[in-house]
Structure 1
């Protein structure tokens, strides 16, 4: 096998080793145009237009890494310019179902499709079972009888390896074919030869010191970052397979992840995509309940942050609650991951997304634990959330902050910040101006951007004015006074407050008023209850007036009807008298 690696082909045999666990993993597309992308077209692993496939419904879509039908196998092989046929090797075929798992010994496929003339098929006991993608560039692959493969697969469809009553509905994860060639020792030697440390590893393998041999391979694995692009994925998948099948994967995975965080010197353009594919493969090949997934995902976050690839990560984040439950993560570890995600989002310019994950991190703090609430970590995280909320051009609701125990604790540790939060939550521009005078230089010292704060305060003041006006008509003069602006700027601020979603209404230039259609209360406390009570009293008084008018009109109508009835009766009586 060493010779195959020297031909830059053997490593390619596990290209599709990134086939993910079908329960709740995620998928990263290989870089467009790479040899790996072309090779995947003829394997059981499919790539998605969306870089990550994460939720259960998505997992059952066409983005899943599912076995192709015989017709799809044939079409893919015919259309692929680099892979003319499905190439034979001696394999055990393992079909993995999550959950449960069933093993398939495809001796029919081996004898009919993967056995070239003059070769002797190895027994199942001599083979292992992991995924690889054949590469037509490898001279050691032999032509295959496609018809034989199709017949064998049709036979498998006729006699499936899972129970007849197994639910194969679209919401059930689909089976996945996994191939690997050779024993662990052979695979380790092949990879060692590729890394040019075969002479060091061979004696260890001869003594059955597999863990020591793997340790040497992992230490030398940083050289894979300079491997040719066409070998990169295959070589890394082989390394990942060896590590995950070892006794102590957690001993070697940190080194591999750190290597993948470094530049891929052989492929400056496609390198980030290749490295992310490898990290994704590690995550997906770990058992869903394995806590190592947490550590790997943290490394993925660092990678995504360093390469500005947050968009590729966002779909996977919906799975976090389920993952945390599967990994049995405590609140502290959850908080660390939420903060890391917030950092990644902030670097990508997703301030709103970042703010939401900071809030999630704050919610992991136990409100009943006063020591945790007042800890330095909690206070700094609270200040970060508060600053983000104040400076955000889209965040106008501060109630989600004020209910958090760690935010409330700022009134003791950082009273000036707490006072500023109260102003933005329920007070107006005049109160903010008083604050800046009382705490002169505070805004500048804390780098809070006075212009942004003042603009937001004007919009919030406009919203409060609209909410507190019973008549639903606000005179221009009243708006100008509250916002401390010239009358000619009122229209501009009215447009801005409507765009911000705080108020709905329209301007009446003829009457010089703003007509309020709908408004949102910034806070609903005692003051707002009183305003609501006043408004209800006004409505009650108006309804009473209407009711009085209606009753008066009703009484008049009854009187009129009675008068008309009496007149009609008199006329009738006169007619009768004349007739007599």
Structure 2
């Protein structure tokens, strides 16, 4: 877990702390004077930060952590109006740590800085941006970013501008795309959601990245929502939009036809044809399952263009995804479908959901009526029993 503890303040004035740091870096061969700056603590910090990376060379990680923490301790005392350039310079230095162990130390120092800045400080955005960069270097991105909601929660008191968030989402997509394609796709969708009708036309590159990421992600199957994003709409008529439409609602045969005519385009987007085939077979099976509650192995062979010996392993893979609930009848060479996730969720699916809810409501009303009848009958029985007991009591007397 990445350290998020407070900065450590030593029992010296800020100026004396700065002078100690000057002496330390001077002893390492840095081109810096040991004397305090006559221009004040901010100038001291600028000069110290300018040479602080000298300790990265052959330095002990624990010692480096203490030195960087001392710099952070001074830095957080600088007023906002005079501290922006200092913070940015420090962040830039730490993103250039040469090795993974040192990158982890730099990540810890940036966390300290981030957590010791006022929550209302706009500088927290810049520190977090560099945190993500350093986290990528030491494979600690999940310690810094876990979800879009978590990200937004970091900046409740001082939300970044729309342009800043777009920059952040692009960075996150870049660092996640090779290790967590599902989360990268969510980030890119969030990025496209920041565009309006007025500026959606300038988001072409982001929209294309979003589509490619979603198509390449082996765990993303509900692609229909992408078509409603404004930047994606501006791609209508282009090959990338046509390809997305195939994945949204067409069958495997349509993809194979597209690939035959646009093989170079698919390859140029960084998409793997075999992975596309695998995904389209799953999507095609889902679409078939919506229509046919029962399918033969021969039907699947034909629709999915697979060999006879591949049918059973394919069905097992489908069941693992939990996209479809089904039972395989190996003796009769059939598949019995009990439920499936819809590839698209438009007006027909909403109507189906509405009908199911109405049926559920009516069934509840029937159950409620039955319970009332049972309760009334029990009450009547109790009244009669009570009357009989009272009669017997009177006769005994």
- The Cα shift of 1:444 comes to 3.6
Query: What residue is the counterpart of 1:191 in the other structure?
Result: 21
Aligned match of 1:323 = 154
Evaluate the alpha carbon distance shift between residue 202 and residue 431 of structure 1 in structure 2; reply closer, same or farther with a 3 A threshold: closer
SS of equivalent residue, structure 1 residue 325: coil
Selected match of 1:312 from 143, 146, 151: 143
For residue 95 of structure 2, what is the aligned residue in structure 1? 261
Instruction: Assess, with a 3 A threshold, how the Cα gap between structure 1 residues 183 and 198 changes in structure 2: closer, same or farther.
Output: farther
Counterpart position of 1:417: 240
Q: Which of residues 382, 389, 394 is equivalent to 2:219?
A: 394
Shift of residue 507 of structure 1? 1.8
C-alpha distance in 2, partners of 1:425/1:269?
Answer: 41
Which residue number corresponds to residue 212 of structure 1? 43
Deviation (angstroms), 1:250: 1.3
> Do structure 1's residue 457 and structure 2's residue 284 form an aligned pair?
no
Cα deviation for residue 361 of structure 1 reads 1.1
Query: Quick one: distance in 2 between partners of 1:406 and 1:301?
Result: 26
Q: CA 1:280 to 1:447, structure 2 compared with 1: closer, same or farther past 3 Å?
A: closer
| 8 Å Cα contact 1:324/1:334 also seen in 2 | no
- The counterpart of 1:345, out of the listed 163, 176, 184, is 176
Q: Distance in 1 between matches of 2:54 and 2:126?
A: 23
The one of the two structures with greater contact order (alpha-carbon pairs below 8 A, sep at least 6) is 1
Q: Which has the higher helix share?
A: 2
Contact 1:52 1:312 in 2 (8 A): no
Residues 1:516 and 1:225: Cα distance change in structure 2 (over 3 Å) = same
CA contact (8 A) 2:177 2:213 kept: no
Aligned residues: 350
Matches within 5 A, 1:115-264: 132=8, 179-196=9-26, 200=33, 202=35, 204-205=37-38, 209-226=40-57, 227-247=59-79, 248-263=82-97
Q: Decide whether aligned partners of structure 1 residues 331 and 231 sit closer, same or farther in structure 2, where only a CA change above 3 A counts.
A: same
Secondary structure of 1:182's partner?
coil
Distance (whole Å) between structure 1 residues aligned to residue 337 and residue 229 of structure 2: 33
2:229 is matched with 404
RMSD, aligned α-carbons: 3.1
Q: 1:214 to 1:464 in 2, by over 3 A?
A: closer
Cα drift, residue 529 of structure 1: 8.2
Cα distance in 2 for residues equivalent to 1:427 and 1:344:
31
Deviation readout 1:208-246 (Å, 9 max, x if unpaired): 744434433333333333454453233222222323323
Partner of 1:273: 104
Q: Of the candidates 208, 230, 245, which is equivalent to residue 383 of structure 1? A: 208
Give the CA deviation at 1:526.
Answer: 6.2
Gaps (5+ residues) in structure 2? Answer: 360-397
Counterpart secondary structure, 1:365? coil
Distance 2:267 2:36 in 1: 67
Rounded Cα–Cα distance in structure 2 between residues aligned with 1:410 and 1:351: 22
The DSSP-based 3-state class of the residue aligned with 2:154 is helix
* Preserved contact between residue 507 and residue 515 of structure 1 (Cα < 8 Å): yes
CA contact (8 A) 1:51 1:312 kept: yes
After TM superposition, the structure 1 = structure 2 runs for residues 4-23 of structure 1, keeping only pairs within 5 Å, are none
Give the secondary structure class of the aligned counterpart of 2:160. coil
SS in 1 for 2:220: coil
Describe the shift of the 1:214–1:460 C-alpha distance in structure 2 as closer, same or farther (beyond 3 A): closer
Partner of 1:483: 304
Task: Give, in whole Å, the separation in 2 of the partners of 1:443 and 1:363.
Answer: 25
Cα deviations across residues 17-67 of structure 1 (Å, max 9, x unaligned)? xxxxxxxxxxxxxxxxxxxxxxxxxxxxxxxxx3266xxxxxxxxxx77xx
Change (3 A) 1:316 1:190: farther
- Aligned match for 1:514, one of 329, 332, 335: 335
Compute the TM-score of the two structures, normalised by the length of structure 1: 0.55
Offset of 1:441 from its aligned partner? 4.3
The answer for the alignment partner of 2:189 in structure 1 is 359
The whole-number CA distance in structure 2 between the counterparts of 1:187 and 1:528 is: 67
**CA offsets 1:284-330 (integer angstroms, 9 cap, x no match):** 12111111111111111111112222232235865321233322312
Distance 2:36 2:270 in 1: 63
**Inter-CA distance 272–447: structure 2 relative to 1 (3 Å threshold):** closer
**Closer, same or farther: CA 274–407 of 1 in aligned 2, 3 Å:** same
Partner secondary structure for residue 505 of structure 1:
strand
